[in-house]
């Protein structure tokens, strides 16, 4: 099936069958779709939200005769001014075709702008009026319209914005229509603040209306985890403590905070990356097979994993801060915020007892990548004496150069019986030539429109994840746990590698995975 045919087929399924009508027994009639991006003038909206909407439009998922996109922010600008600001984020840097320019123009014409504050009803009444005008213009039956509010805003304004939406902008839901709210991370700073935020939003909206977005759950290789684990007989008997020695989930960046020092310093690497992105990946690696692919069944199993994690030990944590971090004028001179962390989590259940899950994230390191590395135990009775070459590993490269490969020991070609490390490799760029991998935000926004919460964080899941890290975070905030200085461009503190060795990880020396060339 060609890519154009694939787009047409997916558009047909979207337009002819409403997910809401299937799940909730409502009328299958589809009304207008209004997408409101709150914080429309901010970086997140310009760099991620609007481009994701544009790509969905190009693939036929946002039909012109149904959809209107509204930007809302405090900045007083016109529709055309917002469109001009967005234009550069939608057009490729080079090689723009006439068709692409036409798509950009058509998409921008779907966008309208409303200016107003985030805690006053005046702006939201005006927004509601504009949405209602759009619904009337396409003769949408009252109560069948769909309203999606994307909060590309700081969490501090979530409660007031949600209150304004509830007071001024709700859609009636008696004829298949709905109102849904997408909230970005960070969902609080610890267990207490996250619960307070959940209570404030929960008083206004039902859980099925709230979509807590973690863009890592929209990444292609993260979404592949369930298929790899539960659709391949090969892995079923291997995926346990009898065969797996350790699991590493790694996020590395080769640059520092780069102008975001003031923001980053409020959170640190654990809140920014580990407590949400990497912990979500851990859940998918460690969870039991769900009863079905229904969102609640999958999220039930993720919560069971989180609730099985035992308290973090001090001697299984290494924190680091790259030298030069505090040179940023927006960062306090005495900042104790870690820019690097290696944390070992242990899951107390039958499948994973004794297996360390190593979560590692850092900025200003020697490479940029995110991957899952599952290391198997040594071969008993090793007759080839090849233990020093390294263990079998199953590696899922999330970014960049998406790939899945298995590190194996094989015979070195030649007359001698000598062994060498090699791999079985599925590199997406080579295997799926010409097929664009969707951005995470595209997939997750489409899931929100369809009413599929599988890849969004449920409230009890959020609570369980904060419960794991809050004691450690409080100690860091109080200055009781100090980060170790490390050189930018290094692997991070040497103590982190020592911790990996201590918990059983065996590094392969002399082997480097090289992505296959086209």
Report residue 22's pLDDT band, with 50, 70 and 90 as the boundaries: very low
Sheet-wide strand order for 393-399: 419-427, 403-411, 393-399, 369-376, 244-252, 356-362, 340-346, 317-322, 484-486
Instruction: Report the percentage of the chain scoring pLDDT > 70.
Output: 86
| Nearest residue to 337 via CA among 255, 256, 276 | 256
CB-facing half-sphere around the CA of 443: CA atoms within 13 A: 19
The pLDDT assigned to 427 comes to: 67
Q: Is the pLDDT of residue 31 over 90?
A: no
Task: Compute and round to an integer the Cα radius of gyration of the chain.
Answer: 24
Q: What is the DSSP letter of 217?
A: G
Q: Give the DSSP letter string of 143-164.
A: T--EEEEEE-S-GGGHHHHHHH
Beta bridge partners of 427: 403
| Nearest residue to 453 via CA among 281, 316, 295 | 295
CB-facing half-sphere around the CA of 153: CA atoms within 13 A: 26
Distance CA 207, CA 416 (A): 64
Can you list the alpha helix ranges (DSSP code H) found in 1-40? 3-16, 19-24
The pLDDT assigned to 403 comes to: 82
Q: Is the pLDDT of residue 387 over 80?
A: no
State whether residue 321 is helix, strand or coil: strand
Contact 153, 197 (CB under 8 A): no
Q: Is the pLDDT of residue 304 over 90?
A: yes
What dihedral do alpha carbons 428, 429, 430, 432 form, nearest 10°? 60
Which tokens hold the place of 467?
A: 């419960």
State whether residue 121 is helix, strand or coil: helix
Q: How many CB atoms lie within 10 A of CB 328?
A: 18
Phi, psi of 450 (to 5 degrees): -80, -10
Q: Which of 38-47, 150-159, 509-518 has the lowest mean pLDDT?
A: 509-518
∠ CA 444-447-449, rounded to 5°: 115
Q: How many CB atoms lie within 10 A of CB 331?
A: 17
Distance CA 44, CA 441 (A): 11
Q: Find the mean pLDDT for residues 307-329.
A: 94
Report residue 420's pLDDT band, with 50, 70 and 90 as the boundaries: low
277 catalytic residue (yes or no)? yes
Q: Find the mean pLDDT for residues 359-383.
A: 89
∠ CA 327-328-334, rounded to 5°: 65
Distance CA 161, CA 181 (A): 10
Q: Is the pLDDT of residue 384 over 70?
A: no
The pLDDT assigned to 68 comes to: 92
The pLDDT assigned to 222 comes to: 86
The pLDDT assigned to 41 comes to: 87
Report residue 15's pLDDT band, with 50, 70 and 90 as the boundaries: very low
Distance of CA 335 to the CA centre of its chain: 27
Q: Is the pLDDT of residue 235 over 70?
A: yes
Contact 142, 172 (CB under 8 A): yes
State whether residue 335 is helix, strand or coil: coil
Distance CA 484, CA 152 (A): 34
Q: How many CB atoms lie within 10 A of CB 307?
A: 16
Report residue 431's pLDDT band, with 50, 70 and 90 as the boundaries: low
Q: Most distant CA pair in the chain: distance in Å?
A: 82
Contact 115, 148 (CB under 8 A): no
Which tokens hold the place of 380?
A: 């008993």
Domains in the chain with CATH codes: 33-184 (3.40.50.720), 217-437+458-503 (3.30.360.10)
Distance CA 38, CA 336 (A): 33
Cis peptide before 400 (omega within 30 of 0): yes
Beta bridge partners of 35: 69, 148
Catalytic residue among 277, 348, 474, 509: 277
């Amino acid at each position: 099936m060609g890519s154009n045919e694939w787009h047409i087929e997916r558009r047909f399924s979207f337009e002819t069958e409403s997910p809401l009508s299937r799940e909730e027994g409502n009328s299958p009639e589809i009304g207008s779709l209004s997408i409101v991006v709150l914080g429309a003038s901010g970086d997140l909206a310009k760099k991620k939200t609007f481009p994701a909407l544009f790509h969905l439009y190009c693939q036929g998922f946002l039909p012109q005769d149904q959809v209107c996109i509204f930007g809302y922010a405090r900045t007083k600008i016109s529709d055309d001014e917002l469109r001009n600001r967005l234009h550069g984020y939608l057009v490729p840097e080079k090689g723009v075709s006439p068709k692409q320019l036409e798509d950009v123009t058509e998409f921008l014409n779907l966008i309208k702008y409303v200016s107003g504050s985030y805690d006053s009803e005046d702006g939201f009444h005006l927004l509601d009026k504009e949405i209602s005008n759009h619904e009337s213009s396409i003769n949408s039956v009252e109560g069948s319209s769909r309203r999606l509010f994307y909060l590309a805003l700081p969490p501090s304004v979530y409660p007031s914005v949600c209150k304004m939406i509830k007071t001024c902008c709700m859609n009636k839901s008696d004829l298949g229509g709905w109102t849904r709210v997408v909230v970005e991370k960070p969902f609080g700073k610890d267990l207490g603040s996250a619960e307070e935020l959940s209570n404030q939003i929960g008083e206004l909206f039902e859980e099925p209306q709230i979509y807590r977005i973690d863009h890592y759950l929209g990444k292609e290789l993260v979404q592949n985890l369930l298929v790899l684990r539960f659709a391949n007989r090969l892995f079923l008997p291997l995926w346990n403590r009898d065969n797996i020695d350790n699991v590493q989930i790694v996020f590395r960046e080769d640059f520092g905070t780069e102008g975001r020092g003031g923001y980053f310093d409020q959170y640190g690497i654990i809140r920014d990356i580990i407590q949400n992105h990497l912990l979500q990946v851990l859940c998918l690696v460690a969870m039991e097979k769900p009863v079905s692919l229904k969102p609640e069944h999958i999220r039930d199993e993720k919560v069971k994993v989180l609730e099985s994690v035992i308290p973090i030990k001090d001697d299984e944590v290494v924190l680091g801060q790259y030298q030069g971090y505090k040179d940023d004028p927006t960062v306090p001179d005495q900042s104790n915020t870690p820019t690097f962390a290696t944390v070992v989590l242990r899951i107390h259940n039958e499948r994973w007892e004794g297996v360390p899950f190593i979560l590692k994230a850092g900025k200003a390191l020697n490479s940029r990548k995110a991957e899952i590395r599952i290391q198997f135990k040594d071969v008993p009775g090793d007759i080839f004496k090849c233990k020093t070459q390294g263990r079998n590993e199953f590696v899922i490269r999330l970014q960049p150069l998406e790939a899945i490969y298995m590190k194996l020991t094989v015979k070195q070609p030649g007359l001698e019986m000598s062994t060498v490390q090699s791999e079985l490799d599925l590199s997406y760029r080579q295997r799926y030539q010409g097929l664009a991998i969707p951005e995470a935000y595209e997939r997750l926004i489409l899931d929100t429109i369809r009413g599929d919460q599988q890849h969004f964080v449920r409230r009890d899941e959020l609570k369980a994840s904060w419960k794991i890290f809050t004691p450690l975070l409080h100690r860091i905030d109080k200055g009781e746990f100090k980060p170790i200085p490390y050189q930018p461009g290094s692997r991070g503190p040497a103590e982190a590698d020592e911790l990996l060795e201590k918990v059983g990880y065996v590094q392969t020396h002399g082997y480097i995975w090289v992505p296959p060339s086209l």
